[in-house]
């Protein structure tokens, strides 16, 4: 283990958790990741291993059977997992977001019902906000929930669900027209339990997961649509029990999700650096190792600096959230920086590999296809810069 991406001030428990996860990644994920990714095969054995390690309950409070760890611990675990295979970190991420939303905003009954089984990995969560025509404009949401006695009837189409097929619980954002005068006060989050699988759901009439979306990268994990046609959901499955709060609940989930995406960028970038510096010491040109060429040393120096800078920014954002302070500025910065630097470090490692980087026999080929997803997930770079810019204007506003 090199000196890059070290984190000061960790407890002994945190260090033990990270050492265990790092060992699991090296032994159980890296050796099989490229083969599974090329087959677009769900990593069942890896997921079972993560369940045994308790990773699905990492941040869930101990009273519900979880480990009660911080966002920082979780982000550092995600960084390690993404270093092995980014798709595996995606399987944990949406589950983590839904668990966070239930713990932060759910009724006591919802916490008692969902969190113990989520901690054990028996229930696995998916997060559904986006729609086919939505993009970054959440106010344009069209999926609708209409009150009908003790139930809501949901109709619409959702898009880009990570774990859409394999999950058993989906947090779905719908328009309900019950909260207030603005679009953001007329959204509600529904907790929908379902049977895993594709096609019409056997336990939720009207709910359909059509199938996996074919993607350039980020394979293995299933990314899907979700179609709702007159789906009836009990009113007690409104997150928090009160309609009209869905937008704010989802944004809280996205905020911690941005720290997660930053951590994924850090993990992928670190792996790309490891592959690049290793290959540079094995490949020879013009009578010497390419690592001895100044041009390659410059490239390695730039890559390492970006890996370190992104990691420290991600750690700062996680610690800010853990302290209870508002962290949208830091989370936006971390997500923006880590995803952009990840793309650049991966591309530089790809260049170091030369023609072999284009071969599927080399791991960097997989990373080169995975990195672009981080530029989009949990908000594009443009959205992050807009959030950061607005917050900076709040912080540095001139007196009237």
Ranking 176-180, 251-255, 285-289, 304-308 by mean pLDDT, the lowest is 176-180
Q: State the helix-helix crossing angle for 363-374 and 30-39, rounded to 10 degrees.
A: 70
Alpha-carbon gap, residue 120 to 336, rounded angstroms: 32
Name the band, by pLDDT with cuts 50, 70 and 90, for residue 133.
confident
pTM above 0.85, yes or no: yes
| pLDDT the model gives residue 283 | 93
Q: Which residue in the list 80, 378, 382, 394 is annotated as catalytic?
A: 378
For residues 156-165, average pLDDT? 93
| pLDDT the model gives residue 165 | 95
Q: Is 378 a catalytic residue?
A: yes
| pLDDT the model gives residue 54 | 94
Name the band, by pLDDT with cuts 50, 70 and 90, for residue 1.
low
Residue 366 is encoded by which pair of tokens?
């997989």
The yes-or-no verdict on residue 179 having pLDDT over 70 is no
| pLDDT the model gives residue 173 | 95
| pLDDT the model gives residue 128 | 93
What does the pLDDT look like over 23-61, one tens digit per residue? 999 999 999 999 999 999 999 999 999 999 999 999 999
Of 174, 113, 165, 168, the residue nearest 143 (C-alpha): 174
**How much is the mean pLDDT over the chain?**
94
What does the pLDDT look like over 322-381, one tens digit per residue? 998 888 899 999 999 999 999 999 999 999 999 999 999 999 999 999 999 999 877 788
């Amino acid at each position: 283990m090199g000196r890059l991406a070290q984190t000061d001030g960790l407890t002994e428990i945190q260090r033990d958790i990270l050492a265990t996860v790092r060992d699991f990644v090296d032994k159980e994920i890296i050796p099989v990741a490229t083969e599974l990714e090329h087959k677009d095969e769900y990593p069942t054995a890896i997921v079972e291993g993560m369940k045994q390690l308790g990773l699905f309950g990492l941040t869930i409070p101990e009273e519900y059977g979880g480990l009660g760890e911080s966002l920082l611990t979780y982000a550092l675990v995600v960084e390690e997992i993404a270093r092995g295979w980014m798709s595996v970190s995606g399987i944990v991420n949406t589950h983590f977001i839904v668990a966070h939303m239930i713990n932060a905003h759910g009724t006591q009954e919802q916490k008692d019902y969902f969190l113990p089984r989520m901690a054990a990995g028996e229930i696995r969560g998916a997060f559904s906000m986006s729609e086919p025509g939505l993009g970054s404009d959440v106010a344009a949401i069209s999926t609708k929930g209409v009150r009908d006695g003790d139930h809501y009837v949901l109709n619409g189409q959702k898009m880009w669900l990570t774990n859409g097929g394999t999950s058993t619980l989906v947090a779905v954002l719908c328009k309900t027209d019950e909260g207030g005068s603005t679009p953001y006060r007329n959204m509600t989050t529904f907790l929908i339990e379902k049977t895993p699988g594709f096609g019409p759901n056997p336990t939720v009439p009207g709910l359909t997961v059509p199938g996996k979306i074919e993607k350039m990268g980020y394979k293995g994990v299933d990314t899907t649509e979700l179609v709702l046609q007159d789906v009836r959901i009990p009113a007690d499955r409104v997150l928090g029990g009160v309609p009209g709060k869905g937008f704010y609940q989802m944004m809280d989930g996205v905020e911690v999700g941005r720290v997660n995406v930053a951590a994924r960028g850090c993990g992928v970038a670190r792996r790309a650096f490891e592959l690049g510096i290793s290959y540079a010491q094995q490949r020879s040109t013009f009578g010497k190792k390419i690592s001895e060429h100044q041009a390659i040393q410059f490239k390695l120096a730039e890559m390492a600096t970006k890996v370190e800078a992104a990691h420290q920014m991600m750690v700062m954002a996680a610690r800010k959230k853990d302290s209870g302070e508002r962290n949208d500025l830091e989370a936006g910065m971390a997500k923006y920086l880590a995803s952009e630097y990840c793309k650049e470090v991966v591309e530089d490692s790809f260049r170091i590999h030369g023609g072999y980087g284009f071969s599927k026999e080399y791991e960097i080929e997989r990373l080169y296809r995975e990195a672009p997803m981080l530029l989009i997930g949990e908000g594009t770079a443009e959205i992050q810069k807009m959030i950061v810019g607005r917050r900076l204007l709040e912080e540095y506003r001139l007196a009237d």
